[in-house]
């Protein structure tokens, strides 16, 4: 008897609504590439300038970002990854098992809106680079003022949507291609513009040591004085900023959508590629690039858009980095938005919902206000999502330890889960109330809000039936899970195995792609360490602009060629 006849009840269920099958799991390298690419994004240019505007000092930036990003990695590893690997479900599907349709629909709509706007902002950022290249005026109003800018947004958005509709595998492959190049270019950009800053502050092209670098940073980048001329944020705030920047994905559990594909829980540590390389080094590099570009142009760093900064740091490669960095983040977030939409309209495929959400996203991206408001959006979005993460964490991790029953609301067939909705609402009131009262730094509000929601939900769920036992319903749930595993085992027999391409041509292409990255780094090192005076610096910088662009073109040609060759080899 084949899988279709024996497990017909699962055949008509959209694949995204079932746990991920064992044969579709990925090794840690997939997640290392995915997170590296997603978190080396066009917004890093903005956040780099934000730390300057907030008035952090150089030492606070170096130490605070390190601690904050380590805390973020640990949050993914010990909060998100264990639940994702245990359930193999996205948060959207798992929340439905816990809280039912009413709560889940409210939450999923919130996520569709949040991730649609984030994706739109990234598309807008990518479009600023293309705008700069074609000398299209900057879009300073909340609405578009140039038809060509709209056409650029539509073209850039089309690429994002076309990648996202193919699901996790396409997202991870796209990220794996972009991640190494993005990291190299961010670091090289800092190398190229550091001499411009050093000439301005120290009168020579290169700081002589660590103390000179700190002096350079304190005087020209992270001055300790904010944009209003007042003392800026300190070490504690920098740590909180770095930790809170992704609360929506770790404490808020949104990244269950990605980590459910992980073979092991420890793969949560793979997020360190995004945090250490993406946020830590990229934010520092972006600050250096922004300050350097500001010196060359003669403007304040807060007046520059990503296209300005990237061009003066990397030349024509700068246009590509803004476009690609925007794409990588937009694709991952549009994938999440499509999942949330598919969880609402569960009778439709994820591809269909992603296309519809993608069309809306591209329209929203035409309005520049989404980019200018991205940082407030990310911060408030985190505070909105974190209480729901607390509810799921309580039910999955705490309930078994205190002898409560998981999925009690589902077993009781409640049409409206009062404890879940009430806990979310009270969590929002609590979190935003603390913010209104200015009790503590906004960056840390997610912690007491998360804990408060866990306590409230546990108490309310106990009163509504979580303390009770449901042996018959639990037996049915266990049987269903086992049947799903058997169904997927049968399906795995039909799965096409992709063999690794080890042909000579592919090996040569891989070597070339690595070699051009090395050449790019060497060129940047020459600018930083081989410029004895200003004229030599300008000459070396122009050489870097020219040949780094050539290397960029070669890198993408070779890596995409390797990807295409690998896809063509099947068992």
Is the overall model pTM greater than 0.75, yes or no? yes
> What is each CA distance from 535 to 189, 196, 311, 539, 541, in whole angstroms?
19, 11, 20, 6, 10
Query: Could you state, in order of their start, the residue ranges of all structural domains in the chain?
Result: 17-495
Pairwise CA distance, residues 154 & 210, whole Å: 46
Residues 6+ apart with CB under 8 A from 338: 164, 165, 350, 351, 353, 354, 357, 358
- Residue 108 CB neighbour total at 10 angstroms: 24
Token pair recorded at residue 474: 């639990």
Q: Whose CA is closest to 195, among 500, 481, 526?
A: 526
pLDDT confidence of residue 208: 84
Q: Whose CA is closest to 174, among 368, 75, 33?
A: 33
Q: What burial class does residue 225 get, using C-beta atoms within 10 Å of its C-beta: 0-12 exposed, 13-18 middle, 19+ buried?
A: middle
DSSP 275-327: IIIIIIIHHHHHHHHHHHHHHHHTS-GGG--HHHHHHHHHTHHHHHHHHHHHH
- Residue 567 CB neighbour total at 10 angstroms: 11
Contact at 8 Å (CB) between 446 and 244? Answer: yes
Question: What are phi and psi for residue 206, nearest 5 degrees?
Answer: -145, 130
Q: Whose CA is closest to 374, among 293, 441, 444, 306?
A: 306
Token pair recorded at residue 372: 């200018």
pLDDT confidence of residue 172: 66
What secondary structure, in 3-state letters, does 386-419 show?
HHHHHHHHHHHHHHHHHCCCCCHHHHCCCCCCHH
Q: Whose CA is closest to 50, among 210, 187, 227, 181?
A: 227
Residues of the chain with pLDDT under 50: 1-4, 570-571
Please write the tens of the pLDDT for every residue from 378-430: 667 888 889 999 999 999 999 999 999 999 999 998 878 899 999 999 999 99
pLDDT confidence of residue 3: 47
Residues in the chain: 571
Please list the residues that pair with 570 across neighbouring strands. 498
DSSP-assigned letter for residue 463: I
Terminal Cα distance for the chain, rounded: 25
Pairwise CA distance, residues 339 & 111, whole Å: 9
Query: Given this structure, which CATH class describes domain 17-495?
Result: mainly alpha
pLDDT confidence of residue 43: 65
- Residue 494 CB neighbour total at 10 angstroms: 8
Contact at 8 Å (CB) between 242 and 68? Answer: yes
Gyration radius of the chain over CA positions = 25
DSSP-assigned letter for residue 443: G
DSSP element (H, E) containing 37:
helix 28-39
pLDDT confidence of residue 305: 66
pLDDT confidence of residue 571: 41
pLDDT confidence of residue 395: 95
Q: Whose CA is closest to 457, among 411, 417, 429, 410?
A: 417
Number of H helices, E strands in the chain: 25, 0
Please write the tens of the pLDDT for every residue from 472-512: 988 888 888 888 788 877 777 766 555 666 788 888 988 99
């Amino acid at each position: 008897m084949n899988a279709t006849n024996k497990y017909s009840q699962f055949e008509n269920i959209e694949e995204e609504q079932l746990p991920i099958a064992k044969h579709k799991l990925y090794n840690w390298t997939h997640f290392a590439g995915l997170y590296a690419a997603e978190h080396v994004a066009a917004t890093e240019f903005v956040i780099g300038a934000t730390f300057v505007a907030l008035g952090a000092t150089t030492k606070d930036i170096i130490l605070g970002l390190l601690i904050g990003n380590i805390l973020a990695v640990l949050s993914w590893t010990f909060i998100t990854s264990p639940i994702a690997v245990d359930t193999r479900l996205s948060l959207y599907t798992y929340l439905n098992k816990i809280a039912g349709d009413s709560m889940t629909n409210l939450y999923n709509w919130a996520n569709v809106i949040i991730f649609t706007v984030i994706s739109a902002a990234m598309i807008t950022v990518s479009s600023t680079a293309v705008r700069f290249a074609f000398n299209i005026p900057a879009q300073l109003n909340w609405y578009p003022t140039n038809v060509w800018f709209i056409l650029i947004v539509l073209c850039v958005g089309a690429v994002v949507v076309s990648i996202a509709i193919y699901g996790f595998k396409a997202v991870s492959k796209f990220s794996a291609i972009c991640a190494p190049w993005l990291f190299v270019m961010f670091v090289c950009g800092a190398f190229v513009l550091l001499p411009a800053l050093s000439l301005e502050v120290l009168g020579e092209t290169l700081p002589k040591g660590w103390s000179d670098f700190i002096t350079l940073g304190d005087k020209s980048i992270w001055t300790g004085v904010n944009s209003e001329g007042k003392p800026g944020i300190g070490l504690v705030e920098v740590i909180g900023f770095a930790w809170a920047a992704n609360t929506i994905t770790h404490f808020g559990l949104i990244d269950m959508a990605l980590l459910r594909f992980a073979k092991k829980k420890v793969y949560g540590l793979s997020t360190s590629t995004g945090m250490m390389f993406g946020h830590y080094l990229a934010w520092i590099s972006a600050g250096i690039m922004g300050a350097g570009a500001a010196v060359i142009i003669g403007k304040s760093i807060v007046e520059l858009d990503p296209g300005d900064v990237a061009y003066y740091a990397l030349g024509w490669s700068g246009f590509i980095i803004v476009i690609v960095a925007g794409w990588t983040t937009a694709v991952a977030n549009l994938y999440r938005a499509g999942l949330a939409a598919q969880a609402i309209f569960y009778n439709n495929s994820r591809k269909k919902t992603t296309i519809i959400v993608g069309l809306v996203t591209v329209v929203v991206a035409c309005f520049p206000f989404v980019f200018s408001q991205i940082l407030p959006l990310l911060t408030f979005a985190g505070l909105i999502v974190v209480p729901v993460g607390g509810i799921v964490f309580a039910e999955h991790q705490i309930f078994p330890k205190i002898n409560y029953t998981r999925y009690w609301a589902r077993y009781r067939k409640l049409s409206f889960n009062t404890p879940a909705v009430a806990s979310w609402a009270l969590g929002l009131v609590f979190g935003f109330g603390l913010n209104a009262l200015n009790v503590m730094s906004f960056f840390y509000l997610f912690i007491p809000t998360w804990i408060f929601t866990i306590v409230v939900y546990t108490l309310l769920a106990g009163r509504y039936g979580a303390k009770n036992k449901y042996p018959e319903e639990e037996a049915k749930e266990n049987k269903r899970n086992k049947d799903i595993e058997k169904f997927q085992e049968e399906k795995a027999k039909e799965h096409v195995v992709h063999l690794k391409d080890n042909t000579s041509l592919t090996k040569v292409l891989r070597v070339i792609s690595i070699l051009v990255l090395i050449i790019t780094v060497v060129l940047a090192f020459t600018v930083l360490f081989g410029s004895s005076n200003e004229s030599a610096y300008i000459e070396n910088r122009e050489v870097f602009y020219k040949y780094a662009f050539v290397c960029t073109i070669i890198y993408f040609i070779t890596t995409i060629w390797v990807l295409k060759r690998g896809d063509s080899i099947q068992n």
